[in-house]
Amino acid sequence: MTQTVRKSSDVLVIGSGAAGLTLALQLAKQASVTVLSKGKMTEGSTWHAQGGIAAVLDDEDSIESHVADTLAAGAGLCHEDAVRFTVSRSKRAIQWLIDLGVDFTRADSGPNQFHLTREGGHSHRRIIHSADATGKAVHSTLVEQAQANPAIDLLENFIAVDLIRQADPCSKKMRCVGAYVYNREADAVECFTAKVVILATGGASKVYLYTCNPDSASGDGSAMAWRAGCRTANMEFNQFHPTCLYHPLGKSFLLTEALRGEGAVLTLHSGERFMHNFHPLAELAPRDIVARAIDHEIKRLGSDYVLLDISHKPAEFIQHHFPTVWQNCLKFGYDITAEPIPVVPAAHYTCGGVVVNEHGHTDLKNLYAIGETSFTGLHGANRLASNSLLECIVYAQSAAEKISAELADIPEPLPPREWDESRVTNSDEDVVISHNWNELRHFMWDYVGIVRTHKRLERASNRIRLLRKEIQEYYANYKVSNDLIELRNLVVVAELIIRSAMQRKESRGLHYSLDYPETSDIARDTILVPMNFADQEVFVHGGTGV
């Protein structure tokens, strides 16, 4: 089989959300940039983000206050230098978005130009937003700017399979020089090379049965980086959004935390409020506490859901501030201006990820990871609401600064090894993929969910080893497909989550164990290191040995 390089560019960005597009736009003045989108541009997590972006924009607010709130939410595991780095750059990041043309909601009156709301864990109103569709406003602007830039090539329906490594001609250390990428429309694997590669693939919440994330959140970046020899950190901290719509057709439609910031309350079916029993801030407690409280009440009462009620607020206020939530709930038969709505927790955000420095650089030369794919130290054991989009912009800008300073001195990649499909065939048993897919997500939800025990984690560990072997055997013998690539990545990420959870002998933030309910006096990150490639069988596809 003859392998040709589909495209060679200065920079290859895998992922087309806020982080990836921000970096692409920052570098486009001096570099050729290829951006790969797994599906359509509008299918990622950024597009669906409702709440907003946390930033110090009010004179009554301060960097110290935002830092303190982030550290408190992170339950002792935030890296204070990363927190200060991010928060101190928040105003600059927001101004860049404003200059690009993002249409943030304006204030009706008062000293601030823009309306700022408050969310759980924040001591001030500091969430700048575009009604309740901030992600769409930000992402659509970034996409429009990228499409208009001749230095940026945006490609849809391309999913990366694995990173390409070569020995650096100067240092002899391994470096990243591109990726093997599955072209979904052509049903073929193609090769993309670049001086620098950026992983901006988002999180891994699709590893759970119930998630408010889009289908693309399958941990691709974390899995590829792990297979390429990069460390991961704190993968046990998976944030479950407390309030997702409970409806068989709703596909866990997220109900923004800003609803509770503007007065929505959580109640039992009887109408009785319960959050004051779990935290002094009640509905404005950090997300892990709210999610665990809801989970507790659901299990205690044998219910399928609890209720979220903002109907006591004026209908005009609700429709003005939450038009997306109001309209979407109406589609499912609920009028939030007149009645409470059923909600359940769902997997929402991956706080851990690929270990990076303040520039987003990983352990592998010329490989960067930004956004939810990365572990910067910002989120600790629990992400403070609306810090995620901020992290995307800040670290994309920081990575771009570093890459810009070094790009001219990076040698061009050598011709990569061919992608070999000579010993694989088309599958006639795709039921294996769907079966393993369902089993994986079910036992992750049951055994590695909101509340954990050592016995549950052991069960999950035993199952994941068997699944990994089955999936590897399938991957080694059949042509790749989108579902197989995602399943292969999900099983890697699931194992990283399980291994990380088993190492943490305490309850902290998003990791709550019935066997270890107390919090240790010493806060430690859970760092997993790929010791060698011998135990990473997922590298082998046919005869490539990739």
Identity of residue 185: E
Residue by residue, pLDDT tens for the chain (546 residues) are 335 677 899 999 999 999 999 999 999 999 999 999 999 988 878 877 777 999 999 989 999 999 999 999 999 999 999 999 999 999 999 999 999 999 999 987 767 789 998 887 899 999 999 987 898 999 999 999 999 999 999 999 999 999 999 998 877 789 999 999 999 999 999 999 999 999 999 999 999 988 888 888 999 999 999 999 999 999 999 999 889 898 877 666 888 888 998 999 999 999 999 999 999 999 988 777 898 899 889 888 988 899 999 999 999 999 999 998 999 999 999 999 999 999 999 998 999 999 999 999 999 999 999 999 999 999 999 999 899 999 999 999 999 999 999 999 999 999 888 887 777 777 667 788 888 989 999 899 889 999 999 999 999 999 999 999 989 888 888 889 999 999 999 999 999 999 999 999 999 999 999 999 999 999 999 999 997 543 443 333 443 334
DSSP code, position 205 = G
For residue 317, the SS3 value is helix
User: Within 10 A of 40 (CB to CB), how many other CB atoms are there?
Assistant: 12
**List of domains in the chain:** 241-347 (3.90.700.10), 431-539 (1.20.58.100)
User: Within 10 A of 167 (CB to CB), how many other CB atoms are there?
Assistant: 13
112 φψ region: left (φ > 0), alpha (ψ -120 to 50), beta (else): beta
Contact assessment for residue 501 and residue 452, using Cβ atoms and an 8 Å cutoff: yes
Neighbouring-strand partners of residue 35: 13, 154
Q: Please, where are the H alpha helices in 186-311?
A: 220-227, 258-261, 287-301
Q: What is the pLDDT of residue 118?
A: 87
Q: What is the pLDDT of residue 331?
A: 92
The catalytic residue among 6, 89, 260, 287 is: 287
Residue closest to 207 by CA, chosen among 511, 468, 486, 539 = 486
- Residues 444 and 381: their CA atoms lie apart, in Å, by 19
Q: Which residue has the tokens 């801030």?
A: 281
Cβ neighbourhood burial of 369 (10 Å; 0-12, 13-18, 19+): buried
Instruction: Provide the CA 49 distance to its chain's centre, in angstroms.
Output: 11
* pTM beyond 0.75: yes
Instruction: Provide the CA 92 distance to its chain's centre, in angstroms.
Output: 23
Q: What is the pLDDT of residue 535?
A: 40
Neighbouring-strand partners of residue 367: 197
For residue 517, the SS3 value is coil
- Residues 256 and 364: their CA atoms lie apart, in Å, by 37
103-109 long-range contacts (CB < 8 A, ≥24 apart) are 103/130, 103/137, 103/141, 104/128, 104/129, 104/130, 104/134, 104/137, 105/129, 105/130, 105/131
- Residues 414 and 8: their CA atoms lie apart, in Å, by 11
CA angle 67, 70, 76 (to 5 degrees): 110
Mark whether 504 is an active-site residue. no
In which element (H, E) is residue 233 found? strand 232-233
